[in-house]
Amino acid sequence: MSGTYLGMPAFPRAARDAVRDTTLRGNLRHATHTIRDKRARAVAELADWQELRAAGKAIKDRTLRHLDHYLVRLEEAVTAAGGTVHWAADAAEANAIVTYLVKATGESEVVKVKSMATQEIGLNEALEAEGIRAYETDLAELIVQLGEDRPSHILVPAIHRNRAEIRDIFDQEMGRWGRPAPEGLSDSPAELAEAARLHLREKFLRAKVGISGANFMVAETGTLVVVESEGNGRMCLTLPETLISVVGIEKVVPTWQDLEVFLQLLPRSSTAERMNPYTSTWTGTTDSDGPQNFHLVLLDNGRTDTLADEVGRQALRCIRCSACLNVCPVYERAGGHAYGSVYPGPIGAILSPQLRGTASEIDASLPYASSLCGACYEVCPVAIDIPEVLVHLRERVVQGGEVTRNGVKVTLRPAKGHAAERAAMRAARWALDHPGALRAGQRLASRTRRLHPKRLPGPGRAWTDTRTLPEVPEESFRDWWQRTRGGDR
């Protein structure tokens, strides 16, 4: 993934700082609780939700099993419809392709539809380095871009900002990028939206090149699909002369009929709407209507390697609805930035360490950014067992094992910094597998119970900073049983 997040502190440190930020916690709590309640109501309206969920899971799994087949079909269909398909193995390749395509048009500005894939590869920064300005047109992305900030949520990238902060950003920054904010802008949602509309209108009408991602790609017809709420995406998809779509290879579905399932699962899970306000579909090019040049950049960037892992591959079913973020108690406290990736929350905790590998400190800490409460699995519209994958990745971190990197099987060594924990786990397992030793330990603890410190040393200290330890009882259950029932059974 992109270098934007390199040097990010590991999750526990970043989260600790976020927990202390009371404004952030307040903003997040309010936003996530509102949307999770709405989602629950929207989902409860459908009697067949669990069947839909199972169907979504099955379609994605089947497609992933035959991904090569469907991608080739997609390429044929896109090409037949007048588009051009490019294959990008990693972020650098994808960025180079897009930069080349933009430069070929002679333009130095592009308008963008909100897209996770282009964020994942750091496209805006790559274009910037080549003298090309990329304008985000999604309201929340605009806020993030103007504020020189990083997105903190999949669906609502500026979720960490409140209205007053947004007003200040518009007021101070819009002028530097184009049309300034109107005089005397207030923080009412209507005025903020109007300011953004005026600012963006200029960009839409001037742009010759549009860049998008896609929520789905239909293999049988080569059609790409974007669902959105604001309509800015449709502007970017129809007004420019050249359209470049950068899409992860896992977004393909075999047929139009499959969309029927996902167009029910996605909006209800993400915005709690029965149907999203705008659904745009585009297939290649059409004479004198819409973009006259269409390029599809198919992005791998770690996906094929992820597919090679039997447990971890389910993360590729993700349709980026963000429901798991909104119910996650850890996300709610830590905020999106702590995850050090464009994919925050539970899905980020399992996707980033697979796409990027677990070598960096942040990626090795992400599988532990969960209490395994299971709320994410419960809401996930494609039933990704996120806790299962988290534990699977924890094993990869502490015990190492076989993974696929760039198509080659390699054996990972256990991560550094876990030696003491590993030794403790081994010792604990030994004691637990020798009840006699366990019992001796319990007795020792009971006998010395008056001497136990109220504060623990080492990694346990954090526990006693905010919690009182239970007292060790005088007699273990085992000893009580032995004393009272020992002889008679």
Q: Which residues contribute to the site for another protein (CB under 8 A)?
A: 11-12, 15-16, 19-20, 25, 329-330, 333-334, 367-375, 377-378, 388, 391, 393-399, 421-422, 425-426, 428-429, 432-433, 435, 438, 442, 445, 459-460, 462-463, 465-470, 472-473, 475-478, 480-482, 485, 489
Which does residue 320 bind out of ligand SF4, another protein, none, counting CB within 5 to 8 angstroms by kind? ligand SF4
Find the shortest distance in angstroms from Cβ 48 to another protein. Answer: 20
Find the shortest distance in angstroms from Cβ 284 to another protein. Answer: 44
* Alpha carbons 411 and 400: distance in angstroms, whole number: 7
Residue 366 lies near ligand SF4 (rule: CB under 6 A): no
Residue 393 lies near ligand SF4 (rule: CB under 6 A): no
* Alpha carbons 36 and 325: distance in angstroms, whole number: 9
Question: Can you tell me which of 74, 146, 323, 364 binds ligand SF4, judged by CB under 6 A?
Answer: 323
Backbone phi, psi, residue 151, to 5°: -65, 150
Question: Can you tell me which of 95, 280, 322, 360 binds ligand SF4, judged by CB under 6 A?
Answer: 322
Residue 213 lies near ligand SF4 (rule: CB under 6 A): no
Question: Is the CB of 225 or the CB of 307 nearer to another protein?
Answer: 307
Question: Is the CB of 164 or the CB of 469 nearer to another protein?
Answer: 469
For the stretch 17-45, what's the b/e string if a residue is b when 16 or more beta carbons lie within 10 angstroms of its beta carbon? Answer: ebeeeeebbebbeebbeebbeebeebbee
* Alpha carbons 218 and 197: distance in angstroms, whole number: 31
Which does residue 476 bind out of ligand SF4, another protein, none, counting CB within 5 to 8 angstroms by kind? another protein
Which does residue 181 bind out of ligand SF4, another protein, none, counting CB within 5 to 8 angstroms by kind? none
Which does residue 438 bind out of another protein, ligand SF4, none, counting CB within 5 to 8 angstroms by kind? another protein
Angle, in degrees to the nearest 10, between helices 189-206 and 163-177: 30
Contact 224, 83 (CB under 8 A): no
Contact 294, 282 (CB under 8 A): yes
- Centre a 10 Å sphere on the Cβ of residue 454 and count the other Cβ atoms it contains: 7
* Alpha carbons 222 and 253: distance in angstroms, whole number: 10
Residue 380 lies near ligand SF4 (rule: CB under 6 A): yes
Question: Is the CB of 227 or the CB of 244 nearer to ligand SF4?
Answer: 227
Instruction: Point out which span in 99-107, 272-280, 381-389, 391-399 binds ligand SF4 (CB under 6 A).
Output: 381-389
Question: Is the CB of 156 or the CB of 384 nearer to ligand SF4?
Answer: 384
Residue 369 lies near ligand SF4 (rule: CB under 6 A): no
Which does residue 36 bind out of another protein, ligand SF4, none, counting CB within 5 to 8 angstroms by kind? none
Which does residue 384 bind out of ligand SF4, another protein, none, counting CB within 5 to 8 angstroms by kind? ligand SF4
Contact 317, 272 (CB under 8 A): no
Find the shortest distance in angstroms from Cβ 468 to another protein. Answer: 4
* Alpha carbons 351 and 362: distance in angstroms, whole number: 13
Residue 384 lies near ligand SF4 (rule: CB under 6 A): yes
Question: Is the CB of 100 or the CB of 481 nearer to another protein?
Answer: 481
Residue 349 lies near ligand SF4 (rule: CB under 6 A): no
* Alpha carbons 454 and 459: distance in angstroms, whole number: 14
For residue 412, CA distances in Å to 14, 110, 399, 431 come to: 26, 41, 8, 29
Per-residue DSSP letters for 374-438? -HHHHH-TT---HHHHHHHHHHHHHH-EEEEETTEEEEEPPPTT-HHHHHHHHHHHHHHT-HHHH
- Centre a 10 Å sphere on the Cβ of residue 478 and count the other Cβ atoms it contains: 13
Question: Is the CB of 121 or the CB of 321 nearer to ligand SF4?
Answer: 321
Question: Can you tell me which of 140, 214, 324, 330 binds ligand SF4, judged by CB under 6 A?
Answer: 324
Residue 95 lies near ligand SF4 (rule: CB under 6 A): no
Instruction: Point out which span in 192-200, 305-313, 374-382, 414-422 binds ligand SF4 (CB under 6 A).
Output: 374-382
Which does residue 395 bind out of another protein, ligand SF4, none, counting CB within 5 to 8 angstroms by kind? another protein
Question: Is the CB of 324 or the CB of 415 nearer to ligand SF4?
Answer: 324
Find the shortest distance in angstroms from Cβ 193 to ligand SF4. Answer: 26
* Alpha carbons 186 and 163: distance in angstroms, whole number: 9
Residues 263 to 292: which contact ligand SF4 by CB under 6 A? 269
At 98 the three-state DSSP class reads helix
Give the sign of the dihedral formed by CA 7, CA 9, CA 11, CA 16: negative
Contact 414, 388 (CB under 8 A): no
